[in-house]
Structure formats: structure tokens, C-alpha cells
Structure 1
Amino acid sequence: MTIRVALVDDQSLVRSGFAMVLSVEDDIEVIGQAADGAEAVALIGKERPDVVLMDVQMPVMDGIEATRQIVDADLAKVIILTTFDRDDYLFAALQAGASGFLLKNADPDELVGAIHAVADGHALLAPEMTVKVIARLAVSENSGAGSASDGASAPGTPAQVQPPVDPLTARELEVLALLAEGMSNAEIASTLFVGEATVKTHVSHVLAKIGARDRVQAVVYAHRAGLTRPAG
């Protein structure tokens, strides 16, 4: 199966570089390019690629807002690419529904691997990225504490999370907590002393019940809802 990819970046040289890297892959086809978020939304709505490589800082509409519109309309899966290793970009990208986050200086093999992973329904959330998500959520919650005079909940607080209509089982709660630590299916299976196939089934049930698009969204949900394991 050929993975159809769209490239979004305001620098034509960057787009050309990515296109060149991907052109040698037999199962990846670049179906279009866009120079800003608004152009990207129009292109992706028309061409319906499988995966979008999305820059963050662009004129007209930035990559975060473009990602939000693309994901909300279920048009494609998005990998955010940026030259900045910044927590706020990471957090905003995940909140917008991105399935992955890579720096532009990633190796070509890493970029190709990311496209394959996201196209296969996986999410790019390495353990170090999980730590950044946790840190960002903690900042959001702490900054909101004591400033709720307007009656609104602080971003990222458990109060914003609605419990699933179909409650998670005890085992599913365990699996979600381990997902929130950035564990792979194999690592979760080893921790719980069950088979990987069993873990895969539990993960699918968890995502369906909490309405998460992928593991990245499940991690954000777990930390917002206070469903992580105690430290230590």
C-alpha cells in the first residue's frame, strides 16, 4: 500500500528537501505541498493524504490551528515538524490532535519510520516526550490553582475530563496508567505478565471508551483525569 503524504512548510527549500528524501521510498508518494496552514487545509481537504508533515510557524494560519482543523474533520493524520524543541509546541500539537512530533533535523530513516508508524495507526510518543507532556500539564494545573475566580477550570485540570459512558475496567485502568508512562505494548505485557495480543486488545478498548484517536491522546487524557500511577 502506498502512503500518500502532504508537505506543509513556508520554506520551499525545506519542502523540497523532504520531498527528495521521500522520493526514494517505494511505498511513499508526496501528493502535494502547501506554504501555510490555510493552503494546507484546502489541499488536504481535496487530496485526502494519509499523513501530513506539518510545520508550526507559518504565515496566514500556523501549523497548530491547521492541525486542529484537519484532525477535527478527520482528513488525515498529522506529524508536527519543527526546528524548535519546545514544550509549548509539543503540548499544543498534542492538544490539536497531532499523532506525532519530530524535529526537522531528524535522520531520514527516522522521518520515514515516523510516517510508516503513523500511517499504521501508531503514535510517536517517546518516553522523553511523555515527560514533557507531564511537565506541561503540571504547569497548566498549578497556574490555574487559586485563579478560578471566573468559575472556569484551568486548562489541563481533571475537572475538564468527562468519564467514559462505558467505564474502564480495573485492568484497562492499569493499561492506561502504563500507556501514560510511555510504555510500548511489549513493556506493558511484561509489567502485567500477560501476552502482547491481550495488551493490544486492552489498548483498543481503552481508546474506544475514552474517545482517544491514538495513544498520544490517551496519555493526555490519563494525566488530565488523574489516572496515572503514583511516582515511585
Structure 2
Amino acid sequence: MARLAQTAQTGPLRVAVIAESPQVRASLQALAESSPAIAFAGGAVDAAALADRLAGAAIDVLVIDLEPSASDSPPPPFDVGFAPSAFVLLTDEPDLDWVLDVLPGDAVAILPRNAPQAEIVASIEATAAGLCVLARDVFGRVLGARKPLRQSASDAPFYALTSREIEVLAMLAEGLGNKEIARQLDISDNTVKFHLSSIFGKLGATNRTEAVMLGMRRGFVMV
């Protein structure tokens, strides 16, 4: 989990749901209503319908169920009048770049659609607290192939970077910040953050400078 800015929360978390399936909406509503820490604010088939239903009411976390048939293209833009800064995305295809680009919030949880109810509730609470959450099986797909190339001197494996991660790492070596990297690659700040988390994890780095040094040592960055 990556911690972001945390704001004080008083009372139950107001949670809204977007899901194409009425059964899924009903299930998520029942889940929200069964948790004393959550207040169900409303549900709808898409963002526009939810905006009408909420009528400007504020929510803390938006839970989105993304069916496979809907994963070929992004959902409609979110109405800034109701979109929160925290999202829980339920999807079986979390490795698509647009998934991160279309979410305007900074705190995001990505879980499989069949995630246990306890995990969904925990992720709602975590994102409301400013955390980013990836389920264990989703984590592997977001980071890509994790087959070790060779052993380091300490016998700890390191893993191949994707071509996009190598681009991001090269820009780190040039001293660019997240916003400049996002602008040059035409991706969102959220996507840059996820790429950086992947790079740090694969290289075993704890900060940007160490990531660049390890990238140079392992041939991912040329000088």
C-alpha cells in the first residue's frame, strides 16, 4: 500500500456504487449497508445516472464494478460535482493503462470482481484514508512479468522492466518530476505513480535516486 494525504473522517463513510449489473449493485449495496463504518449513498448503472441520483450530495468513496465487456474503452468522464478522491475498482483486467488514467482520484484500490466482501470493505476504508491498494493477484499483473533475469551479489533476484517502465526510469535519470514525465508520455499522474511503484519494487529501490543507480548498474539506463 502507498500512503497519500489523509484527511480526518467523522461518521460513516459515504459510499456510492456504479455497476452495470443490477445484481452486482444490489450485492454491493447490501455489503455497504451491513458495515457500520459505511453509509450507502446510492448506486446506478453509469456515472451520469449516479450524478442525477446523488443530486450534488458529497461521497467519500466510489466503488466501480467494471464488467469485461466494458473494459475495451473507458467509462464516461466523471462529473466533478460528485466524484470523490477515492475509488475502489473491481475489474478482472487491471493492466490496461486507461484504467489508471480515467480515475481522477489519488487513492485507488484495484481488486478482482470476485474479491471477498471483507477485502472490499477494507479497501473502501483504506482508500478513504488516502491509501492505494492492490490485491495480491492483481499486483502481479499490474507489475507485468516477474521472472528473475539473474541473481545479484546478495543472491536476491531482480526482475525485468517493461518498455514503459524503462522510459520512466530514463526520465528519472534526467531529473524529471512526475508531472513532466506524465506530460511527455501523455499519461496521468496516477499512472506515473503506479509505474514508479513497479520500478521500485522490481529493482528493490527505496527512492528515486537509488532506482536510477540500480537501473544504471543493471543496464536499464545508459549514460
- Shared fold (TM-score, shorter chain, > 0.5): yes
Superposition deviation, residue 34 in structure 1: 1.2
Identity, in percent, stands at 20
Q: Are the aligned partners of 1:9 and 1:58 in contact in 2 as well (CA < 8 Å)?
A: no
Q: Are the aligned partners of 1:6 and 1:51 in contact in 2 as well (CA < 8 Å)?
A: yes
| 2:164 aligned with 1:141 | yes
Superposition deviation, residue 53 in structure 1: 0.6
Partner of 1:218: 193
| Closer, same or farther: CA 19–51 of 1 in aligned 2, 3 Å | same
- SS of the residue aligned with 1:22? helix
* Structure 2: unaligned runs, 5 residues or longer: 1-10, 146-159, 179-187, 219-223
Partner of 1:88: 95
Superposition deviation, residue 138 in structure 1: 5.2
Superposition deviation, residue 212 in structure 1: 5.9
| Closer, same or farther: CA 222–18 of 1 in aligned 2, 3 Å | closer
Q: Judging by fraction of residues, say which structure has more helix.
A: 1
| Closer, same or farther: CA 70–120 of 1 in aligned 2, 3 Å | farther
Q: Are the aligned partners of 2:95 and 2:142 in contact in 1 as well (CA < 8 Å)?
A: no
Q: Of 22, 43, 65, which aligns to 2:32?
A: 22
* Structure 1: unaligned runs, 5 residues or longer: 143-155, 166-210
Q: Judging by fraction of residues, say which structure has more strand.
A: 2
Partner of 2:118: 109
Partner of 1:7: 17
Give the aligned length.
168
- The 1-side partners of 2:58 and 2:194 are apart by 27
| 2:141 aligned with 1:132 | yes
Give the RMSD, CA atoms, in angstroms. Answer: 4.4
TM-score (norm 2): 0.56
- The 2-side partners of 1:138 and 1:44 are apart by 43
| Closer, same or farther: CA 11–160 of 1 in aligned 2, 3 Å | farther
Partner of 1:164: 177
Superposition deviation, residue 50 in structure 1: 0.4
Superposition deviation, residue 157 in structure 1: 3.1
| Closer, same or farther: CA 104–63 of 1 in aligned 2, 3 Å | farther
TM-score (norm 1): 0.54
| Closer, same or farther: CA 64–52 of 1 in aligned 2, 3 Å | farther
AA partner of residue 94 (structure 1): L
